[in-house]
Amino acid sequence: MRSLLVTVSLLTSSAAMAQASTPQEALPTPTASEPREAVEPSATAPQAPASPTPPRANAPTVPEGSPSIDERLTADEHRVEALEEQNTETKNDLSALKKLRISGYVQGRYQYQQDLDDSGAGGYSRFGVRRGRLKATYTTEWSQYMLQIDAVPAGVTLKDAEATLFVPGTKQQLSVTLGQMKWPFGYEGPQSSSDREFPERSRVVRNMLPAERDRGAKVNGRYKFLRLAVGLFDGNGTDSGTTQDNDKEKDFVAHLGFDLKWIAGGVSGWYGHDMGRLPTDTFRHAYERSRIGADLQAYFDVVPLGGTSLKGEFIAGRTYGAANNATHLDVPAHGWYLLLVQNIGLNDAVAVRYDTFDPHNGQTDLAAGEVPGADNAVDTVGFVVQHHFGENLKVSATYEIPMTHAVAQALDPHDNLFTLQMQARF
């Protein structure tokens, strides 16, 4: 009991001290013109001393000269106003930051490829960083800035650098973009590598759209379920080894798509030229570089385990494969893929993909001894299982079996590939 009394006494005295030492006294008293509706009850405060009930002996006493309740409420009002001003200022700062979005992802890998043949040639077992992307996007009502770099052991390269104008009055349905960007062609090319189930794009897309990007200008438009993207590009792509176009030829690339929620797709076209010289040419010559494509994606909800999607794409074209500067001038080629993905619950999925690429239409498959010819068609069947650990981490294991078309005594190379990938994104 004694300790309780001591505690009460201490609390009482400290409360009185706190009142006496608050800086409220320094605050100005309100002027008559200031709105006071919110503190009307305080008008009763000055009457308190006139109360007929005498203060109890141990009740806290208001020291002489300390601020009245009215004054304290006024001071609190000023404090709230100051906080509101600070809050407004902070909100203004944050509203600018909200327009900026920093995102990115890293794909770390372990890969094992079989020896190519019984001599032990080829094959590998290695760790690597396939992609290390950092992307900044700043979006306003009328414009968007986007810069994406890729930092990997081979170096840092520019992937995207786009400046976009959203045409006023179109609610961002129509836009014009200039810079370095993805070609508006097909489905898998423009799709983000972080969303894909398989570690790499299908063989036909890798050949027809190497690095998926180029420098140029693009117009994007949407009307109800229709999507149109039309662009004019240098045409050589960002993997061509040059940072500037070396000719006056420009390539026209377009994709007209539709999106009906459960089914989406489109058709693509590409027409342009590539300046080059075949062994039979004396001088450089503009060779046709063209592609046509069709893509379709269907999403189902029939299996009780989770969503199912079926995606396919066909591309045929002439002059392709700028990767490592190895352009196949004036060569007609085609390929396609079919991908089936099955989600299992919220965090898991399995997928199987069959893709095929014929690098030289109409050319008979060849063989050099036991080795298939360089231009033989290749079919690849791949399986992947993936698991999401929360919203930021995805782990996938992929097994791909390429089957090179072979004739006579040639053998399909042992080039099956296992890829274990961990992708972290933010």
Binding site residues, other proteins, CB under 8 A:
38, 88, 91, 98, 112, 114, 141, 171, 195, 222, 259, 261-262, 299-301, 304-309, 341-350, 383, 385-388, 390-391, 395, 397, 399, 416, 418, 420
- Helices (H) and strands (E) counted in the chain, each on its own, are 3, 18
Hunting for tokens 């149109």 — which residue is that?
Answer: 228
Strand, helix or coil for residue 104: strand
For other proteins, the closer of residues 1 and 302 by Cβ is 302
Could you tell me how far CA 244 lies from the centroid of its own chain? 27
d(CA 334, CA 348): 33
Shortest distance (Å) from residue 194 CB to other proteins: 9
* Shortest separation between residue 141's beta carbon and other proteins, angstroms: 6
Contact in structure between 274 and 294 (CB atoms under 8 Å): no
Nearer to other proteins, 66 or 309 (CB): 309
Cα separation of 162 and 178, whole Å?
Answer: 6
Q: Which phi and psi angles does 117 have, rounded to 5°?
A: -145, -175
Q: Evaluate whether 351 touches 322 at the Cβ level (below 8 Å).
A: no
Name the residue nearer to other proteins (CB basis): 205 or 341. Answer: 341
The CB-of-70 to other proteins minimum distance in angstroms stands at 20
- Rounded to a whole number of angstroms, the minimum distance from the CB of residue 231 to other proteins is 20
N- to C-terminal Cα distance for the chain? Answer: 59
Q: Return all residues near 402 (Cβ < 8 A) that are at least 6 apart.
A: 378, 379, 380, 413, 415, 416, 417
Strands 174-182 and 124-139, sheet pairing: unpaired
For residue 341, the minimal CB distance to other proteins (Å) is: 5
Closer to other proteins at the Cβ: 248 or 261? 261
Shortest CB 47 distance to other proteins, Å: 26
Residue with Cβ nearer other proteins (221 or 306): 306
CA distance 198 to 202: 9
Dist CA 199 CA 382 (whole Å): 10
Residue 373 CB, nearest distance to other proteins (Å)? 24
Considering the complex, state which of residue 251 and residue 415 has its C-beta at the smaller distance from other proteins. 415
Smaller CB separation from other proteins, 49 or 304: 304
Give the type of residue at 109: R
Residue number, 4 or 302, with CB nearest to other proteins: 302
3-class secondary-structure state, position 375:
coil
User: Residue 346 Cβ, how far from other proteins at the closest point, in Å?
Assistant: 4
